[in-house]
Amino acid sequence: MNLLAVGIGGAIGAVCRYLFGQMIPKMGSGFPLGTFAVNVIGCFAIGLIVAMVGKHSDIDPRLVLFLQTGICGGFTTFSTFSLETLALIEDGCFAVGVLYIVLSVLLGLLSLLAAKILVGGWHL
């Protein structure tokens, strides 16, 4: 049942991300406004969910999985990244939180570059 909740939510989130990205064109500078907006909205949404669960312990865990892991995860993994980073900082692990940010961005970009080089798709 948990897998179904996550899967259905993920499908909804992914479709919403695609539609949202299509509705908002890139700005003149090429800035990916649609992706940026999706990431910010996803972070706000996951923040609402976490706050509501914190205030209302009677919320069905499957609903949380559907909304947080499913919809928000399908909409943007950036929201989960942000939630985990904030949790590290709130738990007093500031240095680990900063390390997580730096390594995630740096290794994400390097992995993308390595894959493009591997298939011959990288150029300046």
pLDDT computed for residue 102 by the predictor: 93
Chain-centre distance of CA 8, in angstroms? 17
Bigger pLDDT: 2 vs 120: 2
| Total residues belonging to the chain | 124
CA separation for the pair 112, 124 (Å, rounded): 14
Per-residue pLDDT of 49-64, as tens digits, reads 988 888 888 999 999 9
- Concatenated DSSP letters for 19-47? HHHHHSPPPTT---HHHHHHHHHHHHHHH
Bigger pLDDT: 84 vs 63: 63
> Would the annotation count 73 as a binding residue?
yes
CA separation for the pair 116, 90 (Å, rounded): 37
Reported as a pLDDT band with limits 50, 70 and 90, residue 117 is confident
Eight-state DSSP code of residue 9: H
The pTM score is: 0.74
